[in-house]
């Protein structure tokens, strides 16, 4: 009798597990809407379409490459409330902390704090250094500083 009861309990647990949908799913990234910070994704296992997938929960947003394999979180087992956890490759990434913003993409880095850009500050600094006139001795190496400024501008946006 206990074997039948054990078998019944096992089958009931298996049946209950089949009812509960996964909290995380693997998907392929599709179209991205940067204005809304959302994307469309297609489930790898079930080909289910996930619309309005959040690219992040606010402080870190990732823009996956089209077709990239992504891990999505599903809130409350409701496919309408999904967010990107991780992606195998991204076009861009944005990190926010209060007034500080860091954007990384194929063009380089952009760092801003309170609407002031690190690139602008460094460029203004180098411009001021280039204005220095030395009365005695060797003056500022203008070509070298200009080259450094150009290198900074290729890394920073």
Average pLDDT, the chain: 86
Q: Which residues make Cβ contacts (< 8 Å) with residue 130, sequence separation at least 6?
A: 140, 142, 145, 146
pTM: 0.69
Q: Categorize the per-residue pLDDT at 21 as very low, low, confident or very high, splitting at 50, 70 and 90.
A: low
Higher pLDDT, 116 or 44: 44
Q: Say yes or no to pLDDT of 38 above 90.
A: yes
CB 146 within 8 A of CB 129: no
Q: Dump pLDDT digits (tens) for 62-105.
A: 999 999 999 999 887 776 789 999 999 999 999 999 888 999 99
Confidence (pLDDT) at 93? 95
pLDDT per residue as tens digits for the range 101-122: 999 999 888 998 888 888 888 8
Q: Are 84 and 54 in contact (CB under 8 A)?
A: yes
Mention the CATH class of domain 2-91: mainly beta
Q: Where are the domains of the chain?
A: 2-91, 100-155
Angle (CA) 38 41 44, round 5°: 155
Percentage of the chain lying above the pLDDT 90 cut:
38
Give the residue from 121, 124, 127 showing the smallest Cα distance to 140. Answer: 127
157: pLDDT confidence band, cut at 50, 70 and 90? low
Q: What is the DSSP string of 27-86?
A: EEEEEEETTTTEEEEEETTT--EEEEEESBSSSEEEEEPTT-EEEEEEGGG-TTSEEEEE
**CB of 143 within 8 A of CB of 149?**
no
């Amino acid at each position: 009798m206990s074997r039948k009861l054990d078998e019944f309990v096992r089958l009931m647990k298996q049946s209950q597990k089949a009812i509960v949908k996964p909290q995380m799913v693997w998907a392929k990234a599709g179209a991205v809407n940067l204005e809304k910070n959302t994307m469309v994704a297609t489930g790898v296992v079930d080909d289910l379409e996930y619309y309005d997938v959040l690219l992040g929960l606010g402080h870190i947003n990732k823009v996956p490459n089209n077709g990239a394999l992504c891990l999505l979180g599903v809130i409350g087992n409701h496919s309408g409330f999904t967010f990107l956890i991780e992606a195998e490759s991204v076009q861009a990434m944005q990190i926010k902390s209060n007034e500080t913003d860091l954007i990384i993409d194929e063009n380089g880095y952009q760092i801003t704090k309170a609407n002031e850009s690190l690139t602008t500050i460094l460029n203004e600094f180098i411009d001021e250094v280039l204005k220095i006139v030395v009365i005695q001795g060797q003056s500022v190496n203008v070509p070298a500083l200009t080259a450094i400024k150009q290198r900074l501008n290729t890394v920073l946006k």
